[in-house]
Amino acid sequence: MGDFLKNCILIEPKILNLIPWHKAYAKAFEKLSFKAHLVTNDENFISQIENVLDNDTKFFFTIDGVGSTAKLQNSELIYDYLNIPIISTYTDHPEQYTRLISESSNYVYSGFFDEGDIAYSKKYILNDANYFFHTDFGLCDESLRVPTFEERDLDIMFCGTIPDPGYFRSLFENINMPYSINFCNEIIEMLKSSDQISLPDAFESVLSSKNLFLDSLSLKNVHSLMSTLSHYIRGCRRIDLFKSLTEQNLKINFFGFEKDYNLIANENVTYCGFLRGENYWDALRRSKITLNSSPLSKYALSERQPTSMLNGALVVTDTNPYMDLYYKDGRDVISYNHNDYSHLADNLKEVLNSKALFEKITNNALLITKNNHTVNHRAQSILDVLRQGGAL
């Protein structure tokens, strides 16, 4: 652990909840013989880099692009000047990071957790850039014992947002685009018809059917519309999911914003406040089931899925082809389709009433995740990307 052959510099995230992931990456890189130096993107950013930079520094690492566009006084990117690459992994859809990605250079490597995000970035943001697939992974405190079925006092937990469909519908109805309302309604209907259609694919299909081309539309409007529709669909799906389960008298513990809770509030939903820091892992370890509804991901893992598994909770989730490579319905997870919740409540009741079934599924998932989806696996994949690019 102390015999470091090379160095790397990690830039601290702006979002406090991402700091544990940042620290986990630092430990993982050190296991791979890279001394990890931690810096913050503040007014002393350049001097911090100068204090730890040497000839053995091989790369920078950041989450969500923090510091990835830092420039010298002559407007040159720091990483171009140093001839040292920076890896930036993103935790949301690329339309949220349009400016950061568009200012990339040959020394910036952008990792997205859904393969569809790479295609979107190439088409709508910057074609000539270094993109790579870097899906989410799980995190847990390995020094702690995984709680047993009996020790978990929460039956079902949901942690996340419930976007207000009414608000987001009002936004896309006022976006200045040709055929905007009919255009959006057709995209929505296409997404409702199948869980396996991605938002960009639906967008492209409707765009083509109307003989519209990107050069006739504002890219700013495209990014705005994608974001608005994503939130609208996500909100509709999550409200429907809660309704279907609570109508069958399943009790759900909701962790998130109170304004979101108000959209799904009823006697079977308990509002538990907003989770921060260590409270997140505590809630996972208290829960038998974590309820997941992915943000329109079509080839990815969402962090909450493998993190729940590493903390011994049973994952109930919509699925996609990437998840299906590793986790099978009824064996490792309980999966569902947003177009059909008819059997989901019964499946959840069955596992809540059977310790043996709970342990069988969670033990399978835990083993698969430990073998494939930890920070050590993702740190190694980052080094592989740099080697393939000739940067190591």
Q: What is the pLDDT of residues 277-287, one digit of tens each?
A: 789 999 999 99
Percent of the chain residues past pLDDT 90, beyond the cut: 67
Q: Per mean pLDDT, which range of 57-66, 111-120, 128-137, 201-210 is the poorest?
A: 201-210
pLDDT at 1 over 60: no
Per-residue pLDDT band at 73 (split at 50, 70, 90): confident
pLDDT at 224 over 50: yes
Four-residue CA torsion sign, 22, 24, 27, 29: negative
Mean pLDDT of the 182-210 span: 83
Which one is predicted more confidently, 385 or 3? 385
Mean pLDDT of the 208-232 span: 74
CB 289 within 8 A of CB 351: yes
CB 392 within 8 A of CB 379: no
Q: Residue 90's closest CA among 66, 74, 72? A: 66
Q: What is the pLDDT of residues 226-241, one digit of tens each?
A: 888 889 999 999 999 9
pTM of this prediction?
0.92
CB 305 within 8 A of CB 289: no
Which one is predicted more confidently, 190 or 31? 31
d(CA 306, CA 21): 13
- Residue at 13: amino acid letter: P
pLDDT at 297 over 70: yes
Q: Provide the pLDDT for residue 251.
A: 97
d(CA 52, CA 320): 42
d(CA 337, CA 195): 7
Instruction: Give the β-pairing of 34-39 and 6-11.
Output: parallel
Q: How many CA atoms lie within 13 A of 81 on its CB side?
A: 11
Give the 3-state secondary structure of the chain: CCCCCEEEEEECCCCHHHHHHHHHHHHHHHHCCEEEEEECCCCCHHHHHHHHCCCCEEEEEEECCCCCCCECCCCCEHHHHHCCCEEEEECCCHHHHHHHHHCCCCCEEEEECCHHHHHHHHHHCCCCCEEEECCCCECCCCCCCCCCCCCCCEEEEEECCCCCHHHHHHHHCCCCCCCHHHHHHHHHHHHHHCCCCCHHHHHHHHHHHCCCCHHHCCHHHHHHHHHHHHHHHHHHHHHHHHHHHHCCCCCEEEECCHHHHHHHCCCCEEECCCCCCHHHHHHHHHEEEEEECCCCCCCCCCCHHHHHHHCCCEEEEECCHHHHHHCCECCCEEEEECCECCCHHHHHHHHHCCHHHHHHHHHHHHHHHHHHCEHHHHHHHHHHHHHHCCCC
Per-residue pLDDT band at 75 (split at 50, 70, 90): confident
Q: Residue 301's closest CA among 26, 142, 91? A: 91
- CB contact set of 207 (below 8 Å; sequence gap of 6+): 213, 214
d(CA 22, CA 40): 12
Q: Provide the pLDDT for residue 216.
A: 45
Please report where in the chains the tokens 């709680």 appear, as a residue: 147
Q: Per mean pLDDT, which range of 250-254, 269-273, 295-299, 376-380 is the poorest?
A: 295-299
Tokens (6 digits) for 176:
């200045």
pLDDT at 378 over 80: yes
CB 156 within 8 A of CB 291: yes
d(CA 195, CA 323): 14
Q: What is the pLDDT of residues 242-271, one digit of tens each?
A: 999 999 999 999 999 999 999 999 999 999
d(CA 384, CA 392): 9
Q: What is the pLDDT of residues 310-353, one digit of tens each?
A: 999 999 999 889 999 999 999 999 999 998 899 999 999 999 99
